[in-house]
Amino acid sequence: MTTSIAKYCSILLLGLGIALGGCASHTVKTSPYVQLQQETSEIPESQLLDLGVVLLDPNLEQIDEDDALVFAEVRKAESHYMAGQMAQAIQNSSAWGAVRVIPNAATVADVIVSGKILHSDGETLKLALDVIDVSGRSWYSKEYKAVASRYAYRRETATRDDPFVSLYHQVANDLLNYRQKLSGTDLQQLRTLGELRFAESFSPEAFGGHLQQDKNGRYQVLRLPAHNDPMMQRIRGIRERDHLFVDTLQDYYGNFNRQIDTPYRDWRKQTYMEVRNLRQVKQQAFNQTIAGVVAVLGGIAATTSGNRAVRNSGAVAIGGGGFLIKEGFGKRAEADMHSETIRELGDSLEAAIQPQVIELEDRTITLSGSVQQQYRQWRDILREYYQLETGQDLGPKGNGQ
């Protein structure tokens, strides 16, 4: 009885080991293409919302130090690159006013899209996005994932689009769908809120009483300025200059993306193959190791059988299992080679784009500093205007913040 059980167990384990060792990793992937939806009806100018896409968070803090597939400079470059791709897709939906990439969420825009990069290589892109409007209301938070098609990197079949264009189209479609649920009054209210919040940031003395923020952080309009309010006219002039500043940043970002486009695409193409190979080899290594262990265990169990044939099978199983384990170690070494290749590709790309990243940061910080200094001085001027026009004494000047 015991011999029968041992015989059956050994045969079962042997068969399992052969099955695992013989299983080929076969994965079927589908890469559906998401078509971009476009607004077909004409939107009144008073309902056109301006949208700002904040530079994506590179998410470097949450990356494991041992993660060899993440490169800080590449992530910083991707934060600009992907924000630009997203802005382009949103703009192409023809449902928004000015769609710009903004350096941070402090820039006043009717709708702000912000997020972080969860994972990015040539094969897979994962983003986590948050959408919030100027009234402080959160539209939605969502994670997006896209897997590039192998044909996206083939010379014969590659298109001009980004390999992850479907993800950007999905983002734009979701924004459009949410926007279409809002009424015209809501859209106009958002435009008004945006203007008043901007005005309040520059002249809280004059416009602080026009808005109210509740405990949830939501803004509401209490009253509107006069049609010919001279202070509002000045604020509008300042806001045009602010738009100029953001448009100048678009030129910076555009030049940067153009400079890194070729090396970045090459990096994506090469890492695509290496990442796929790495994943496949790792899976094979895992399967072979497990199969070898199971076969060895089965063979050991079979050697205790009274049946000579079973004992012989057990010996074969032990030999085969050992071979599989050895192959598994070999696959693991091959996986390390692929990891090393990916690391070298990343280092090479970092070296290629680091000067552009540094230059972009330098120019952006320099321009932002000059602009912020000018804004402080405008705040002081507006404060003087307010004192002069109202006769109120606001006391000593602040720091123009």
Partner 1 sequence: MVLAMNIKTKGLLRTFARAALLLSLSGTALLGCKTQSSTSQPSVPSPSPSSSPSSSPSSSPSSSQPSTAGSSMPRPSSPTPSSPTPSSPSSGSTQPGGDNEPRDNSGDSRDQRSGQPDRGAPSEGGRQSQGGVFNEGAEASEGADASPYYDAYDPSADNGDSDNSTDSSEGGPGGGSTSDDISFDETPPGRTSAERQAELDAEFEGSMERYDGMILRERERAQSEAAAQGAEEQLESAGGADGSGGQQSGGAGSSNPYGDPSGEAPEQQSTDANSSGDTQASGGRQPAGGPQGSNGQGNDSVPDDIPSGDDDDVVARQIREAAMAETDPELREKLWEEYRRYKNR
Nearer to partner 1, 7 or 379 (CB): 379
What is the full DSSP assignment across 2-35?
HHHHHHHHHHHHHHHHHHHHH---------PPPP
Contact residues toward partner 1 (CB under 8 A) are: 48, 50, 84-89, 91-92, 97-101, 155, 158-162, 234, 237, 240-241, 243-248, 250-255, 257-259, 261-262, 265, 367, 370-371, 373-374, 376-378, 380-381, 384-385, 387-389, 393, 397
Task: Give CA–CA dist 358/73, Å, rounded.
Answer: 9
Nearer to partner 1, 234 or 282 (CB): 234
- The β-bridge relationship of strands 211-213 and 219-221 is antiparallel
Nearer to partner 1, 22 or 391 (CB): 391
Task: Give CA–CA dist 109/333, Å, rounded.
Answer: 51
Nearer to partner 1, 92 or 188 (CB): 92
Token match 């390390």: residue? Answer: 336
Nearer to partner 1, 7 or 80 (CB): 80
Closest distance of CB 274 from partner 1, Å: 22
The residue type at 343: R
Return the closest-CA partner of residue 162 out of 116, 120, 130. Answer: 120
Closest distance of CB 251 from partner 1, Å: 4
Task: Give CA–CA dist 271/324, Å, rounded.
Answer: 28
Closest distance of CB 340 from partner 1, Å: 29
Closest distance of CB 12 from partner 1, Å: 56
Both tokens assigned to 387 = 């004192």
Nearer to partner 1, 254 or 355 (CB): 254
- The β-bridge relationship of strands 111-120 and 99-102 is unpaired
CB 208 within 8 A of CB 200: yes
Closest distance of CB 57 from partner 1, Å: 19
Closest distance of CB 180 from partner 1, Å: 20
Task: Give CA–CA dist 113/134, Å, rounded.
Answer: 11
